[in-house]
Chain A
Amino acid sequence: MDFIRYLDPTVQFMLFSAVKIVLVFAVAMTGVAYAVLVERKVSAWIQDRVGPNRAAPFFVHYLPVVGPFLTKLGIFQPMADGLKFILKEDFTPSYVRKIYFWIAPAISCVPALMTLAVIPFGSTLGNANNPMVIADLNVGILYTFGIVSLGVYGIVLAGYASNSKYPFLGGIRSSAQMISYEIAMGMSVVSVFLVVGDLNLSKVVAYQSGGIHEWLIFKQPLAFFIFLVSAFAETNRLPFDLPESETELVGGYHTEYSSMKFALFFLGEYAAMIGASAMMVTLFLGGWTPIWGGAPASSLLVGLSHIVWFLAKLGFFMVLFIWVRWMLPRFRYDQLMNLGWRRFIPLALVNIIITAGLIALTHK
């Protein structure tokens, strides 16, 4: 690996960035596939079922003990699922608006993946000039919110393009829901940045690097709570999955979709969950820092351990997302709007004023 040092800095930067992009993308995609598996397993356990426990490639049977165990855990199920999606017939109904129908799944999937670009998923791998974040933007949080707000177009367009009742209702619902909760979400974060004093997500992590008592979840519990609930609404997860609510709208915005186009919506939802979890880890749970705190890594091993810490916290939120889905019933639409506009937004505003007041009092 010595030749890297002799390249000029621009080429080095491009090379490192490309590697980081590929790695983050690969991890996110694998994460999506296995989040689906965890979803199915957790739901099965909560409902006292077994869940996926059969799918396995032929050679696994020859492995003693480990093979049957992995099969029972359903480790190979995501591969079978992916293959199934690719091989299914890609049916386009005759009455849809073709261009929008094709473009909507992509639009719903891409923003969810783009948010991961500014998340610091680790400190360094020994080289201080190469932080473990794809783009260390000065306005990282603004970027995330801007990109997340694009995701709603995918759902609205899918609803419009499908040209039938249920998808249309789902699209309309989701646009109102996501705009509402975006406001609550954005306002809850303002108080966090009042405390930190910077919009750069790496700085937010650096602020919390002193250990668990420095984490913003304890300094801004109200902001965390509003952000968490809004994240559920933004990702269209139960108890806020009104855009697709199977019992009333059949499948909502993706009713008319099949095969890989449906899979893209599916992928987008889980990628959005990963993105929201990564945001919460970064903003409130100290990002990649261990619970006892820590400075950016000076060696490869410590750097890797920081990435593991980040992934562990991420996993915690993913399981929380999944667990809540199988625990709570769906909200009614007016309850949803009531909660967003008349509870969370005033609460977030009060939180901002109190935080600003406290900072003004203690600053001098």
Chain B
Amino acid sequence: MRMLSDIPIAFLMIAAVTLVSAVCAMSLRNLVHCGLCLVLTFVGLAATYLHLSAEFVGFAQVLVYVGAVAILIVFTILLTRNAEVTLSPVSQSSLVGLGIAIAVCGSLVLPLVTSPSLRRLPAQSLAPDAQVQRIGEKLMAQYVIPLEALALVLTAAMIGAVVIAMRDDPERNDPSPSPQNQKDTGSVSNSPAGTALNSSSSTSSSQRP
């Protein structure tokens, strides 16, 4: 059993920031504050990776989660103007919540602990050797099927987003079919997933006074 004083102080600081901000992200009432706390959690995770000298994963975390995912979340919260509404939690019972949390955590930790890859790990650290090229080779050769599966899941999610955007748009535009709105609807219905964001944001900003 390691003593607390054996753990590097930098790690303790990073862990404290990450955990506190994660708890805040779940428990604060103002959605914008929650989103920004989530950003801090992502930054803390990136710092943890960097602290383990996994540079690639660390900066990929910053790029993808902090720079794209979290800003999209904040963007959506601000656009829908629900920021000031104080939401009541889904379930009033904290026992149910605790149970769900333990179940989710257990189902994530269990495969990790029982995974055969854990036994394959050598005693010393791998990290400084983890070149980008090696990561790429591993991803494209050994782990190509999980990679493809992930790509499939993401594509499905994207198609889902497009479908939701398509179903929503005619209803919104029907009462007052101005040329501008019709043009926007057209661009949604026959464009790749990315444009869903594009025209939904452009319509909403043009509809604002």
Contacts and interface: CB of A to CB of B under 8 A. Distances in A.
A176 B208 contact: no
Interface string B60-89: 101100111001101100110001000000
A148 B59 CA distance: 11
B62 A150 contact: yes
A180 B63 CA distance: 13
Contacts, number: 108
Nearest to B32: A160
Given A171-B78, A345-B194, A333 B132 contact: no
A180 B132 contact: no
B155 interface: no
B202 A333 contact: yes
Interface in B45-71: 46, 55-56, 59-60, 62-63, 66-68, 71
Most buried by B among A139, A143, A169: A139
Interface stretch (A86-94, A335-343, A352-360): A335-343
Given A175-B74, A333-B206, A342-B191, A150 B67 contact: yes
Nearest to A142: B59
B199 interface: yes
B197 interface: yes
Interface of A is mostly: helix
B60 A142 contact: yes
A168 B204 CA distance: 13
Interface residues of B, number: 38
A149 B131 contact: no
B205 interface: yes
Given A138-B132, A180-B198, A337-B199, A156 B68 contact: no
A7 B105 CA distance: 51
Given A342-B191, A342-B195, A143 B74 contact: no
A156 B78 contact: yes
A149 B206 CA distance: 25
B62 A176 contact: no
Interface string A136-169: 0111001101111110110011011000010011
B83 to A, nearest CB: 8
A2 interface: no
Contacts of B75: 156, 172, 175-176, 179
A8 interface: no
A169 B75 CA distance: 11
Contacts of B74: 153, 156, 175
A48 interface: no
A269 interface: no
Contact of A149 (B71, B133, B187, B197): B71
A70 interface: no
Contacts of B72: 179
Interface in B150-209: 184, 187, 191-192, 194-195, 197-199, 201-202, 205-206, 208-209
A256 interface: no
A345 B195 CA distance: 11
Contacts of A149: 62-63, 66-68, 71
B59 A146 contact: yes
Nearest to A242: B205
A229 interface: no
B205 A172 contact: yes
A98 B92 CA distance: 32
Contacts of B68: 149, 179, 182
Contact of A168 (B78, B195, B202): B78
A173 interface: yes
Given A145-B63, A147-B62, A333-B206, A137 B55 contact: yes
A138 B55 contact: yes
Closest 10 CB pairs between A and B?
A149-B67, A146-B62, A337-B198, A142-B59, A146-B63, A146-B59, A176-B201, A175-B75, A334-B202, A341-B194
Interface of B: 32, 36, 39, 46, 55-56, 59-60, 62-63, 66-68, 71-72, 74-75, 78-79, 83, 131-133, 184, 187, 191-192, 194-195, 197-199, 201-202, 205-206, 208-209
16 contacts: A139-B59, A142-B63, A146-B63, A150-B66, A152-B67, A153-B71, A169-B205, A171-B78, A175-B74, A176-B75, A179-B71, A183-B194, A197-B133, A337-B198, A340-B198, A341-B195
Given A142-B63, A146-B62, A338-B187, 12 more contacts: A138-B56, A146-B59, A146-B66, A147-B62, A149-B63, A149-B66, A149-B71, A159-B78, A179-B75, A341-B198, A342-B195, A345-B194
